[in-house]
Amino acid sequence: MKTLMMVCRVAFEDLGMKSFYFLVLVTIMLACTKHPTGEGTATPESAEAQYELGVKFETGDGVPEDITEAAKLYRKSADQGYVFAQYNLAVMYDEGRGIDEDDTEAMKWYRKAAEQNDADAQTNIGTLYYNGEGVPEDVAEAVKWWRKAAEQEHALAQFNLSLMYYDGIGVLQDYTEAVILFRKAAEQGYADAQYNLGCMYATGEGVDKDEAMAIEWWRKAVKQGHATAQNNLGVMYANLYGGTEE
């Protein structure tokens, strides 16, 4: 079965109109500093603008790329409770980009975003608990947070949770539940889940053995460049069409 993974996200809109970049950036910068009293202090209304400007600095979209400046802007926005900024700031602490790596701070900001039902943050909290990064290792907490994200149809959380059910880690082993969760992630195009679902059909774990369904799901994974699925598919074809069964 595949190993656990985390999700990293930078959400932004591609304006697609470079001739307007300067005007847009000026407008955002003004919004980041504007205050009804004219004192130049950031307001809750400017949190989104600070975040958007942070994204531009992080991606080099219309301005020179500056990860450190992006982190500063994310923090200003995050301090005002803006969920996307809280998430992106957490990722920066997690990866040590534009700021010193700090698992404890990453967890702090992921948690703030997760408490606003951000599924990506909930997923990453689960992974930090599972790996014992920034917090003591706690599989039960990992399962709890992945479940929260999975209930929001987060494919990676569904996949991670399915592995817990498959291996019986933090939950009672349940191949049927593993299949359900693999399928949910697979139907969202998650290649590792498509591969694992194919394996479940090939072995008959949690579902009736069905080589045709195994082939179908491995094909979907292969289309996304999944090498192990391609290998399994080759072996399956060899066995079905003239190869020797092992």
The full set of domain ranges for the chain reads 175-246
CATH number of 175-246: 1.25.40
Residue 61 has pLDDT above 50, yes or no: yes
* Cα(189)–Cα(185) distance, integer angstroms: 7
Contacts of 215 (CB under 8 A, 6+ apart): 198, 233, 236, 237
For the whole model, what pTM was predicted?
0.79
Q: Report the pLDDT value the prediction gives residue 237, as an integer from 0 to 100.
A: 83
Q: Report the pLDDT value the prediction gives residue 42, as an integer from 0 to 100.
A: 46
Q: Which residue has the higher pLDDT, 228 or 242?
A: 228
- Tens of pLDDT, residue by residue over 106-164, are 999 999 999 999 999 999 999 999 999 999 999 999 999 999 999 999 999 999 999 99
Contacts of 172 (CB under 8 A, 6+ apart): none
Least reliable range by pLDDT among 5-19, 116-130, 207-221 = 5-19
What amino acid occupies position 108? Answer: K
Chain centroid to Cα 145, Å, comes to 13
Binned at pLDDT 50, 70 and 90, residue 239 comes out as: confident
Residue 180 has pLDDT above 90, yes or no: yes
Please answer whether residues 140 and 130 qualify as being in contact, where contact means their C-beta atoms are separated by less than 8 angstroms: no
Least reliable range by pLDDT among 22-26, 88-92, 126-130 = 22-26
